Amino acid sequence: MATGAPPPCMRAGVAPTGAPPPGMRAGAPQRRTAAGRRTQQNWVVMTTLIDAPPQEEDGLLPAKRSKTGGGLGKYLVVRFFLIFPTIFILITMVFFLMRITGDPITAALGGRLPPDALQARIHEAGYDRPILVQYTEYLGQIATGNFGRTISDNLKVTDMLATYGTATLELAINSLVVALIIGIPLGMVAAKYRDKWPDAVLRVFAILSYATPVFFAGLLLKLIFSVGLGWLPVAGRAKSGNEIALTALANPSGIYWLDAIRSGNMAALGDVMAHAVLPAIALGLLTGGVFLRLVRTNVIGTLSKDYVEAGRSRGIREFRLVTKHAYKPALIPIITVMGLQIALLLGGAVLTETTFEWKGLGFQLAQYLTARDFVAVQGIVVLLAVIVALTNFVVDVVAALIDPRVRY
């Protein structure tokens, strides 16, 4: 049973997960990725909690009511512990892949140092010991939050992550705002005018926004708005004067617009905003296209429900029908899948930051890659893996809290 048939809950059509196998239902690859992963994760949960679903299915309401609290708690605990194998596998994989071809010191400094000096540095850092010893030590260090020091500029990896992580966070927030502004209203428009020309235009727009690499979108935006029209700055996060002023604040949050607002520095705020527009649009377009399709599909699903028809018969305006009656019930799957776009967002952020010289994790990653500083690369990659795993957990929790059907 455990492996033989799909778990009953999936067949029952639990909103965000109850879809046919991932690949067959594929629209955009991103969405397939996200939704597919959910299905799979829940499947894993199912195998551990295989005794729970039949109670759901039987529809024995009183029994279910009394079980609900414990069911949710159990679900959350199991889901929480499922983070660890994911992170563990990723860390292990990254560690061994990065060591397959040699130690990081040879990669970074090989050819620049004489062989004996190189050997001494390798010995000093302990890279000449058996790989399993190093691996165990590495796991221990990570567990205590010690990621080592970067080779090229001898920073502590954790400090480096903290410094540049906030910039990436700022970019992610900005682009998420853009993506929501683009995705949700346009998605509703596409759903309303399904198969009419606005829908066709918006679908092509969504595919285009997926087909355009972030760095090409960024390049075009720079050509048009920075170089051609001269409206916006070409690159960076702020003018250097403002940047210094903002980092010199007491307890800077590292998110520039937040710091500018806190210090009441309106000139700096304007400058930061101007710098933030293009990167946010470039990255926001990518995710916005995915959101658009997501909203469209789900609102189409709810728009044809009976209660919408009933509302229409009572004379509720079409605008209200779409934005309230159809949109709200569609929100649960939308929120879930949106949360799972974090992997797409982070991958896009790496490229966006490089394009706009936005000094965040992605920009640093590219720098360290060119410098062949694989300790730093490993640190960044592991951090991002942890972020993705945690976000997925949070998304599952939110989904379980909103939608009672997710609680097995």
Partner 1 sequence: MSRKDGSLIQRLPVISHLRKSVGLQRGMLVTGLIISALFLLTAALAPLISPYGFAQHFDTQQPPSSAHLWGTTSGGYDVLSRVVWGTQTAVLVIVVAVILSIFLGVALGLVSGYIGGWLDRILVVIADAIYAFPTLLLAIVMSIAISQGRSSMLGGIMAAAISITVVFIPQYFRVIRAETIRLKAEPFVESAMVVGASSVRIMARHIYKNATRTLPLIFTLNASEAILTLAGLGFLGFGIEPSSAAEWGYDLNKALSDTTAGIWWTGVFPGAAIVLTVLGLTLVGESMNDLNDPRLRGRRRAGKTAPTATAGPTANSTPENEVTV
Residues in 46-105 that interact with partner 1 by CB under 8 A: 47, 85-86, 89-90, 93-94, 97-98, 100-102
- Give the contact letters, 27-46, x = binds to partner 1 (CB under 8 A), - = no: xxx-xxx-xxx--xx-xx--
Residue whose CB is less far from partner 1, 269 or 387: 387
Q: How many residues does the chain have?
A: 408
> Closest distance between partner 1 and the C-beta of residue 360, in Å?
14
Angle at Cα 388 formed by Cα 294 and Cα 182, nearest 5°?
30
Instruction: Return the DSSP state at 357.
Output: T
Residue whose CB is less far from partner 1, 255 or 344: 344
Residue whose CB is less far from partner 1, 179 or 389: 389
When asked if residue 359 is in the footprint of partner 1 (CB under 8 A), the reply is no
Report the alpha-carbon distance of residue 176 to residue 184 in Å, rounded. Answer: 12
Q: How far does Cα 338 stand from its chain's mean position?
A: 9
When asked if residue 8 is in the footprint of partner 1 (CB under 8 A), the reply is no
When asked if residue 292 is in the footprint of partner 1 (CB under 8 A), the reply is no
> Closest distance between partner 1 and the C-beta of residue 263, in Å?
30
Identified binder of partner 1 from the candidate list 63, 133, 181, 200, rule CB under 8 A: 200
> Closest distance between partner 1 and the C-beta of residue 192, in Å?
13
Stretch that binds partner 1, among 4-12, 120-128, 159-167, 263-271 (CB under 8 A): 4-12
Residues in 214-243 that interact with partner 1 by CB under 8 A: 215-216, 219-220, 222-223, 226-228, 234
| Torsion (CA) 278, 369, 148, 92 in degrees, nearest 10 | 100
Q: Give 113's strand partners.
A: 110
- Give the contact letters, 304-323, x = binds to partner 1 (CB under 8 A), - = no: x-------------------
Residues in 256-275 that interact with partner 1 by CB under 8 A: none
Stretch that binds partner 1, among 56-64, 156-164, 272-280, 384-392 (CB under 8 A): 384-392
**Six-digit token string for 153:** 């500029």
When asked if residue 211 is in the footprint of partner 1 (CB under 8 A), the reply is yes
Report the alpha-carbon distance of residue 220 to residue 205 in Å, rounded. Answer: 16
Q: Give 256's strand partners.
A: none
Identified binder of partner 1 from the candidate list 119, 212, 263, 265, rule CB under 8 A: 212
Which residue is it, tokens 């709810």? 302
Instruction: Return the DSSP state at 149.
Output: B
Q: Give 110's strand partners.
A: 113
Identified binder of partner 1 from the candidate list 7, 9, 15, 395, rule CB under 8 A: 15
- DSSP letters of 166-234? HHHHHHHHHHHHHHHHHHHHHHHHHHHTTTSHHHHHHHHHHHHHHHS-HHHHHHHHIIIIIIIS--S-S
Residues in 388-407 that interact with partner 1 by CB under 8 A: 388-389, 392
- Nearest residue to 145 via CA among 379, 396, 344: 379
Residues in 134-163 that interact with partner 1 by CB under 8 A: none
Residue whose CB is less far from partner 1, 39 or 174: 39
Residue 227 burial (CB count, 10 A): 10
Q: Which amino acid is at 326?
A: A
